[in-house]
Amino acid sequence: MLKWILFLCFLVQIDCRIGCKGLTGSKVDWFIVYKLPAGEKNANQGKAFLYVDSKNPQWALSKKDIEDDSVAVGATVKQIYKREPTAFHLMYSDDGPNTKADSYRGHSKGVLLFDSSTGFWLVHSAPNFPPTASYAYPASGVKFAQTFMCVSINTNDLGNIGDQLRFIQATPFDQNLPAKFATRFPVLRNVVAKQSLPQSATVFTSVKHMKTVDGVVIHSFAKHKKFQKDLWHDLVAPEMGTNLAVQSWLNGGAADLHSVCTSQYSVYDMKTVTVPDLTFNSSKDHSKWAVSDTERVPLVCVGDINRQKSQLSRGGGTLCIQSVPLWKTYRSTVSVVEPCKTNGIDHWIYFLVILVTSFFILGI
């Protein structure tokens, strides 16, 4: 059936390949959705969202809301409900719909759908999402801001994605693994069976560099619970060689990791976020994303794990894109960050002291 559909699409020149769908419902190479928190201006009771994609990297407020299955997230996920038997799909979440929250396995949420040539990987922060029968947006994901990042990927990279999901310890709650996919990508058997790394494993992080269908490089970071460190400060920052400002959920019962500044890399927790016509506190934001501090490494990441001590012993990951236009959009979104402390002194004061001292000692 799928082959006949593709043939028909070829005849009428319609792109029927599986992939991310944008604001018009047409295929896009990648997109990011920032669902706004309830109670804010233009937030439509927490159902409005901002949107950027591969062709339009500046924030645009969607005319339709997150519940609409004809745009962006809804249009993308809706492709799964066709239940094409020859396509591979996977929904995974530590807090899926109609399931008990899993605090042992990875703190990760995502959706995959692939045919024999292309597909999409959607990573997100929304609890109880998506439903397994038909598209809807859960009431539990309305109050706080949430993020969704979709990338259209060639099916050849499914093995790499499967490897990342093993490190993360993703928790599947709905899937279809056709025999051809299981044979071509054996790691998917492990993922569907919730089989993580072997007991003999000694490496607990994984970094994969892949490309979207249109050739944009994406960086996938994954950590296993045995890594026992922060994804952002101890993996992403050193791997990419840049400081980061990170927005993550800091309202949990565990202690926060707080901003960390070292001689090598600094990672700052965001306190306030600013988007067009709206500023809101991080406490209203359940999303997990990061942006670098320099255009030299124009990095934007969207993921699924927080900067709290309890998350050190959880698997998790993030997807990152390097794009100057997108970086400028996200860099302007950083409003207020938590300063680092160095021996009780705010880090910026400490830096100023060092700079003044260097001026007098070295004459610079």
Place of tokens 């067009």: 276
- Domain segments of the chain as ranges: 17-362
Tell me what pLDDT residue 41 has: 85
Tell me what pLDDT residue 99 has: 85
Count of positions (residues) in the chain: 364
Rounded CA separation 304/165 (Å) = 12
Tell me what pLDDT residue 339 has: 95
Rounded CA separation 270/266 (Å) = 13
- Please report the DSSP string for 169-218 in residue order: T--EEEEE--HHHHHH-THHHHHHTT--S-TT----EEEEEEEBTT--EE
Query: Are β-strands 88-93 and 316-322 bridged in parallel, bridged antiparallel, or unpaired?
Result: unpaired
Query: Are β-strands 266-275 and 289-292 bridged in parallel, bridged antiparallel, or unpaired?
Result: unpaired
**By three-state DSSP, how is residue 322 classified?**
strand
**Residue 72 near residue 31, CB atoms below 8 Å:** yes
Phi-psi region of 137 (alpha: psi -120 to 50; beta: other; left: phi over 0): beta
Q: Which has the closest alpha carbon to 300: 123, 159, 130?
A: 123
pLDDT tens digits, residue range 202-243? 999 999 999 999 999 999 999 999 999 999 999 999 999 999
pLDDT tens digits, residue range 133-169? 999 999 999 999 999 999 999 999 999 999 999 999 9
**Residue 90 near residue 108, CB atoms below 8 Å:** no
Rounded CA separation 356/364 (Å) = 9
325: enclosing H helix or E strand: helix 324-331
Local confidence pLDDT in tens for the 364 residues of the chain: 555 445 545 444 456 789 999 999 999 999 999 999 999 988 999 999 999 999 999 999 999 999 999 999 999 999 999 999 999 999 999 999 988 888 899 999 999 999 999 999 999 999 999 999 999 999 999 999 999 999 999 999 999 999 999 999 999 999 999 999 999 999 999 999 999 999 999 999 999 999 999 999 999 999 999 999 999 999 999 999 999 999 999 887 789 999 999 999 999 999 999 999 999 999 999 999 999 999 999 999 999 999 999 999 999 999 999 999 999 999 999 999 999 986 545 455 434 433 343 343 334 3
Contacts of 54 (CB under 8 A, 6+ apart): 28, 29, 30, 31, 212, 214, 216
219: enclosing H helix or E strand: strand 217-223
Count of alpha carbons within 13 angstroms of residue 263, beta-carbon side = 1
Q: Which has the closest alpha carbon to 158: 174, 178, 181, 141?
A: 181
Rounded CA separation 308/297 (Å) = 26
For the CA atoms of 82, 83, 87, 91, what is the dihedral angle to 10 degrees? 100
* Terminal CA-CA length for the chain: 71
CA 349 to chain centre: 33
Tell me what pLDDT residue 254 has: 82
Q: Supply the DSSP symbol for 285.
A: B
Tell me what pLDDT residue 155 has: 99
**Residue 194 near residue 105, CB atoms below 8 Å:** yes
- Which residues does the annotation mark as catalytic? 286
